[in-house]
Amino acid sequence: MGFVKGKLPQWLKFTNGSGAIAFGVKDLGFSFFLLPYYNLVLGVEAWLVGAALATALVIDALVDPLIGHLSDRTYTRWGRRLPWLYVAPIPLAFMWSLLWSPPFTGVPSFWEIVALAVGVRLLLSACEVPSVSLVPELTDDYDERTTLFRYRFLSGWLGGMLMMVLAFTIFLPTPEAQLQPEGYAAFGMFGAFLMVLSVVGSAAGQHRIVAQRPAHRPPPFSLAGAFSEIFDAFKEKAFLVFAAGGLAAYVGQGMNFSMTQYVNNYVWKFDELAFQLYPGVLALSVLFMFVLVGPLHRRFGKPCSSAGGAIVAMIFYFLPYVLFLSGLWPETGTAVSTYSMLGLLVIANTASIVAIISATSMVAEIVEAFEERTGKRAEGTFYSGNWLVQKCATAGGILVTSLIVQSVGIEQGTPQDQVAPASVAQLALIYTIAGSALAIIAAFWLGRFPITREQHEARVAAKERREDAAAHDDPIDDAIRADPDGHTITP
């Protein structure tokens, strides 16, 4: 049973959601600026940056689930999550600053990039996994969980949008400034401050509700036992279906974001004003998501909302590229081209965020299904799995982008008007094919997620009856359970 029964107070929604600002800062940095910074500014070859981030991911993959597992096992008078949220943000801020101002001489090497990326990824996991794991702990209500994720996504995106606005107005205000290292260092330092403020502030705001000693002390830790429990959780059918669709969706989103600087510069030929308007376009899409996702979940459920969002996003993301390649798009660089592109992006990005938030919210329902099968709560383990899928996607998206950029031959520091039209067309074509394929795969799997609202609510009701029966020592009611299809069974 969640810490809060019934409707959540408004202040708690804001407070829990604000912890995701740190994730938004990181996601914006990794998705939009990391590859261009290391490739176009520091002179690292694009494929080498992608390979370094993929290597960091492999290292991360071995450790990340352990963070979620250890968070589930944390046993203090402040509960399972708060100690992580008070400690981890400080070293995270330090590593984030170093990522944007590398302490190395000359062009960063492969292993230097790996070291910085691993440090940031692991420390952000130590913040984000405990923070998001509080969602299924706070409430077991199907719609209230969606509400908490709405606020988390809103906060994460607004944090990212704030950093983008500052990047395009203060730190990196012109295409020329985007090719100089000084603005990126300031970008990193401000982001580090924002990360600490959001994570610690969110934890402190929820302290009086979630600072409760867990009901059961975990058994002694062993590495073999930890990985056994993690593998048991990850083979849950619902998690495997989510992971297949979520990975494709997150890779697509990661590729879309990491391609932004390239396509906006070289395909659409954005000017300084267009770059400054771009954060507003994304902010509008987040606000539309915030209004739409609740009614969509109530009307269609989370799986259909996620699959539908992926398809709508694909159509509106890549329609301009199809028209451009067909010669039917207005001349790029003109006001008609720029504002048409920005308008379609509002729709596409709204649908994309609906797909992602629906998929993330589905993970919360896996917690009860796993508890029903094993008798264990594993919020941290499942959200570390979700986090690992997202990290795979971010690295995968950047790797795909780096390979595309490498294949079309855009060199370090190349101005807009000096890229060959054939290279621009090739960039648009490959991007369209890869993005459309990922969206179709994501929609196929996310639409097949096996836990419906009715099944989840049946599980929660059966659990409450078991707990009530146990409190009254009723041996008959204690046998009440829900079968895997969500039907309540009584002896």
Same domain, 317 and 370: yes
Asked, for residue 103, whether it belongs to a domain, the answer is yes
pTM here is 0.74
Same domain, 197 and 277: yes
Element (H, E) at 97: helix 89-99
Give the C-alpha separation, 228 to 376, whole Å: 13
Average pLDDT over residues 198-224: 88
Average pLDDT over residues 148-159: 89
> Residue 412 above 70 pLDDT?
no
Q: Distance between terminal CA atoms of the chain?
A: 23
CA-nearest of 93, 123, 136, 174 to 377 is 136
Domain count, the chain: 2
Same domain, 469 and 345: no
Same domain, 383 and 487: no
Give the C-alpha separation, 467 to 463, whole Å: 6
CATH of the domain at 197: 1.20.1250.20
Burial status of residue 39 (CB atoms within 10 A of its CB: 0-12, 13-18, 19 or more): buried
Tokens of 255: 């590729």
Non-local (6+) Cβ contacts of 6 within 8 A are 141
Tell me the pLDDT tens digit for each residue of 234-274. Answer: 888 999 999 899 889 988 887 887 788 788 888 999 888 88
pLDDT exceeding 70 applies to what percent of the chain? 93
Same domain, 382 and 274: yes
Asked, for residue 2, whether it belongs to a domain, the answer is no
Same domain, 174 and 260: yes
Q: 328-332: long-range contacts at Cβ-Cβ below 8 A with a sequence spacing of 24 or more?
A: 332/267, 332/268, 332/269
Same domain, 434 and 301: yes
Same domain, 441 and 467: no
Helix then strand count (H, E) for the chain reads: 17, 2
Asked, for residue 4, whether it belongs to a domain, the answer is no
Per-residue pLDDT at 480: 40
Asked, for residue 5, whether it belongs to a domain, the answer is no
Asked, for residue 171, whether it belongs to a domain, the answer is yes
Same domain, 15 and 51: yes
DSSP assignment, residue 8? P
State which residues form the domain around 471: 452-491
Same domain, 248 and 117: yes
Same domain, 433 and 481: no
Taking the CA atoms of the chain, what radius of gyration do you get in angstroms? 23
Same domain, 131 and 232: yes
Tell me the pLDDT tens digit for each residue of 370-379. Answer: 888 888 878 8
Asked, for residue 3, whether it belongs to a domain, the answer is no
Tokens of 107: 């062009």
Structure confidence at residue 414 as a pLDDT band (50, 70, 90): low
Per-residue pLDDT at 104: 84
Average pLDDT over residues 148-158: 89
